């Protein structure tokens, strides 16, 4: 083999090795860039403000299914604090709540002010509703929303439940006005917001879905209430 052929082969090998090196470097840059982008996106998701939509006094045969439809369309999990007296006849709605991943909590049986009755009566109000929910879902509720936000001191020691309060009261039951509800939430919304609503009014369902759409556009993630009260 002549020196010219050797020189030509050497030159070709140099060009090929250079091309492989360049392609490899470019691939590494793209891989590193993609990894950095994914890490940035994950960090953004972790830093998103959180909010919880919570609904008392249900289930409502007329309005709760409409609300569940809207939440499902938006892939939102909410928290429902049920009145025991409203469950009979609406068992399928409670089953759907569980199947779709919502938090199911207790709101007493008769919507009583727990601090105004004896400990035995309070315990009965809570356990009666717990048992009804258990018969439907197979799970005992761990969380409860005390009516009027009135919690009897040390009651959790005898019923083993965690009370869930709120920091945004929409007053939806009183106004039954979509604009009024939206104005309250949009003025007070912040990271960690637990929004109190009721799933027994058409205006509340409409407002809740508008709240969801607006806050998600603002970067909020909706979670169940337990995510915001348990470290």
On the question of a cis peptide bond just before residue 59, with omega within 30 degrees of 0, the verdict is yes
- CA 221 vs CA 23, 44, 75, 138, 224: distances in Å: 40, 11, 10, 28, 10
Residue 190 vs residues 60, 170, 174, 187, 219: alpha-carbon distances, Å: 29, 14, 23, 9, 11
Closest CA to 145 of 118, 111, 185, 174: 111
Beta-bridge mates of residue 144: 106, 163
C-alpha dihedral sign at 86, 142, 223, 34: negative
Q: Report the SS3 class of residue 54.
A: strand
Catalytic site residue from 102, 107, 172, 198: 198
For the question of residue 198 being annotated catalytic, the response is: yes
Q: Which of 21, 56, 69, 213 is catalytic?
A: 56
Residues 183, 176: Cα–Cα separation, whole Å: 13
How many whole angstroms from its chain centre is CA 156?
A: 24
Q: What residues act catalytically? A: 56, 198
């Amino acid at each position: 083999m002549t020196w010219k052929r050797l020189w030509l082969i050497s030159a070709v090998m140099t060009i090929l090795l250079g091309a492989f090196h360049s392609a490899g470097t470019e691939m590494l840059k793209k891989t590193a860039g993609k990894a950095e982008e994914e890490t940035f996106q994950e960090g953004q998701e972790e830093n998103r403000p959180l909010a919880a939509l919570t609904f008392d006094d249900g289930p409502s045969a007329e309005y709760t299914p409409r609300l569940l439809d809207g939440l499902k369309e938006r892939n939102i999990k909410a928290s429902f604090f049920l009145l025991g007296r409203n469950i009979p006849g609406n068992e399928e709605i409670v089953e759907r709540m569980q199947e779709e991943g919502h938090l199911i909590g207790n709101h007493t049986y008769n919507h009583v002010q727990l601090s105004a009755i004896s400990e035995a009566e309070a315990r009965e109000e809570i356990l009666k509703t717990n048992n009804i929910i258990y018969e439907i879902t197979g799970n005992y509720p761990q969380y409860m929303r005390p009516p009027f936000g009135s919690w009897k001191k040390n009651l959790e020691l005898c019923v083993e439940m965690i009370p869930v309060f709120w920091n945004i009261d929409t007053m939806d039951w009183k106004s039954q006005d979509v604009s009024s509800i939206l104005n309250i939430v949009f003025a007070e919304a912040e990271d960690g917001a637990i929004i109190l609503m009721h799933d027994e009014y058409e205006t509340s369902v409409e407002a809740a879905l508008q709240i969801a759409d607006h806050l998600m556009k603002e970067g909020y993630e909706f979670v169940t209430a337990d995510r915001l009260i348990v470290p």
